[in-house]
């Protein structure tokens, strides 16, 4: 992986995390607002609730895309310099996979 691709991946991870947090916050605010408005102004309840649920779905989509990108980057050893990718790879045993394969070939 070259430096430009690595930096683009790092930027995309940050962008997805930011979008996820923003969408979750607005979703929670819209849903809470719809609950508050049930006793104040009923015509806004349904649009706010539907908007909150829709933004929640978009936030889950961002979460999924973020996880998928980290998972794909964990397979590339060069991407382990990104702290989030390196931590994920270490948790899931992807750091030394190549070394384990090489040692098993030589021992058998």
Return the domain boundaries, the chain.
3-103
Considering the chain, what percentage of its residues have pLDDT values greater than 70?
A: 87
Predicted local confidence at residue 2, as pLDDT: 86
Instruction: Name residues whose C-beta falls within 8 Å of residue 37's C-beta, 6 or more positions apart in sequence.
Output: 44, 45, 48
Nearest residue to 33 (alpha-carbon basis) of 41, 54, 59: 41
For 7, counting Cβ atoms within 10 Å of its Cβ (0-12 exposed, 13-18 middle, 19+ buried), the class is exposed
Predicted local confidence at residue 47, as pLDDT: 93
Residue 58 or residue 99, greater confidence:
58
- What does the pLDDT average to over 20-37? 94
Considering the chain, what percentage of its residues have pLDDT values greater than 90?
A: 74
Predicted local confidence at residue 104, as pLDDT: 44
The secondary structure of residue 82, as a DSSP letter, is S
Interatomic CA distance for residues 11 and 18, integer angstroms: 11
Interatomic CA distance for residues 31 and 25, integer angstroms: 10
pLDDT band at 106 (very low <50, low <70, confident <90, very high): very low
pLDDT band at 95 (very low <50, low <70, confident <90, very high): low
């Amino acid at each position: 992986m070259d430096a430009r691709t690595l930096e683009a991946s790092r930027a995309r991870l940050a962008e997805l995390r930011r979008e996820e947090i923003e969408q979750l916050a607005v979703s929670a605010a819209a849903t809470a607002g719809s609950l508050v408005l049930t006793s104040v102004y009923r015509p806004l309840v349904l649009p706010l609730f539907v908007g909150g649920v829709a933004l929640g779905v978009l936030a889950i989509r961002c979460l999924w895309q973020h996880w998928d990108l980290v998972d794909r980057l964990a397979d590339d050893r060069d991407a382990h310099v990104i702290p989030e990718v390196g931590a994920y790879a270490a948790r899931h045993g992807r750091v030394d996979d190549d070394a384990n394969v090489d040692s098993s070939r030589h021992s058998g």
